Structure 1
Amino acid sequence: MRVAVCQLNARDDRKANLGAARRLLDRAAAAGADLAVLPEYVDYLGPASGLPAPEPVDGEFGAFFAAAARELRMWVLAGSFHEAGPDPAHTYNTSLVFDRDGRLAATYRKIHLYDVEIPGRVSYLESRGVAPGAETVVVDIEGVRLGLSICYDLRFPELYRRLAVDGDAQVLVVPAAFMLHTGRDHWEVLLRARAIENQCYVVAAGQIGDHDPGRTCFGRSMVIDPWGTVLAQAPDTVSIAVADLDLQRLRTIRTELPSLANRRL
């Protein structure tokens, strides 16, 4: 399987963001990707006052990426968007996966919400406007098991162990808008750890650069193999990175270092 991570700088213009995302998908398809992964909040990352109205899964956002998948004959993981939530005050942070025919194959709602409050320094409570999801999701992509997650989920290893063990995941995906000040120290370390401890490929697509209001994302989208080796990494600009996933190598690693089989807890 050939995968592409698409690195975007989404701002406060949804139409422009979707156009940029489509151009990256075009590049991924031209590179022969079977699956393209876009970042968290691919359609809008800006002031709350301009946030597009939340939509159902089959709304404008879903229709846009379903059409892209169908036209490009490629699997598309459409980052995430604000799905209409359980009440008027809360949305879900939701990833959608479309198959080559544009059919919706999986829906994942972000489980772990980024709530951080340090007096005098930072106050960011994602849960004020976003409701947590409750279900882990693994989707079969032409015989390859893909475990879904979003951004802050990355800090919770128990989620990925469940995807790998209970869901038989072989690939873990992480669409993200990882902050610069944490990303430069933690992003690659955490991604490689999730790959090594779960003996899975990790495919992580991040937002890059400045976003209003006063937010900077780290980027460095990458693909990592089950040994923890970085196979491909995007440069610090809007771009894609492409890598081939060798499922035989995954099976060999799991046979020669059977840590998943040897677990006791």
Structure 2
Amino acid sequence: MTEPMTVALAQVRATRDPATNLDLVRRFTAEAAGRGAGLVVFPEATMVRFGPDPREAAEEWSERWLAALPEIAREHGVVLVAGIFTPSDDGRVRNRVLVTDGQATETHYDKIHLFDAYETKESDHTEPGDQLVDVEVLGTRLGLTTCYDVRFADQFTSLGRRGCQIICLPTAWADGPRKAEQWELLVRARAMDAQAFVLGCDQAFDPEARLSFGVGGSLVAGPLGEVIAQAGSDEELLVADLDLAVVDRARGQVPVLQASRR
């Protein structure tokens, strides 16, 4: 019997100051490592909260964050997953998820599905990615997605077919009518589509913001759609133990990833 993998979801409330946010990453990573986590996930836009245009912050801060995150991961002996912005070649930014252990592993995923919905147009300032990304970490295969991707089931099914047992979903889920309900439902559904654990790490709710880019409710969903652990609305470190053998059992009992005719 294999040991469970301990994961942590750092439900933080990012500010408009990347230096302050980097301190948040340091503090929450240290706490997660102290609680035994090997994988620590932060939300989308951890580097700087969403605003009119993240280009200025990306140009000034992305290199510093790209240098600091591996150092933090290496210091605490964890695999770190966090949402940042980097400049793109066309004058926009890339909404990027970085994965690093500060040693042999470093990769990134650029958000494919941009949030052009609810009278918001992320594509005005963000260039979309076009590649699915997965990576081997801690003896398992990790798939990478971001926020609005959760509405696109095929992306999660494809990652499941690639053998991903865990899918990270860093998010800044904008508040609105029924949005919190949609968030939980979608994360659980995508876990079933991929027959994998989905780590939906949202930003904490901001009651003082006109439009909070986070509803909280970060959750770990299992391959049968069950909620393993879930956070409230405020800043919180959510820690959970994952039995990866559950993934193999679910895929063996209901082999939808192999049985699909499309």
Question: TM-score, normalization: structure 1?
Answer: 0.90
1:242 aligns with 2:232: no
Change (3 A) 1:48 1:102: farther
SS at match of 2:58: coil
- Distance (whole Å) between structure 2 residues aligned to residue 192 and residue 109 of structure 1: 23
> Which residue in the other structure is 1:45 paired with?
49
Letter in structure 2 aligned against 1:6:
A
Change (3 A) 1:140 1:55: farther
Q: Is the 8 A contact 1:12 1:50 kept in 2?
A: no
> Which residue in the other structure is 1:86 paired with?
89
The offset of 1:56, in angstroms, is 9.8
Return 5+ residue gaps in structure 1 as ranges.
Answer: 117-121
The offset of 1:254, in angstroms, is 1.3
> Which residue in the other structure is 2:189 paired with?
193
- Distance (whole Å) between structure 2 residues aligned to residue 85 and residue 219 of structure 1: 29
SS at match of 1:6: strand
The offset of 1:246, in angstroms, is 0.8
The offset of 1:183, in angstroms, is 2.8
Change (3 A) 1:98 1:50: closer
Q: Identify the match of residue 148 of structure 2 among 142, 148, 152.
A: 152
SS at match of 1:48: coil
Letter in structure 2 aligned against 1:87:
D
Q: Identify the match of residue 17 of structure 2 among 8, 13, 16.
A: 13
> Which residue in the other structure is 2:58 paired with?
54
- Distance (whole Å) between structure 1 residues aligned to residue 151 and residue 20 of structure 2: 31
Spell out, residue by residue over 1:144-196, the C-alpha distance to the aligned partner (whole angstroms, 9 max, x if none): 1111000001101111111111x221111100000122532200100000111
Letter in structure 1 aligned against 2:201:
A
Question: TM-score, normalization: structure 2?
Answer: 0.91
Letter in structure 2 aligned against 1:164:
G
Spell out, residue by residue over 1:34-91, the C-alpha distance to the aligned partner (whole angstroms, 9 max, x if none): 100000000211543786432499711111111110000000002x111110222x11
CA RMSD of aligned residues (A): 2.1
Q: Is the 8 A contact 2:86 2:95 kept in 1?
A: yes
Q: Is the 8 A contact 2:200 2:220 kept in 1?
A: yes
Same amino acid, percent of matched pairs? 34
1:170 aligns with 2:170: no
The offset of 1:212, in angstroms, is 8.2
Q: Identify the match of residue 137 of structure 2 among 141, 144, 152.
A: 141
Which protein has the bigger strand share?
A: 1
Change (3 A) 1:13 1:212: farther
The offset of 1:4, in angstroms, is 0.5
Matches within 5 A, 1:19-38: 19-38=23-42
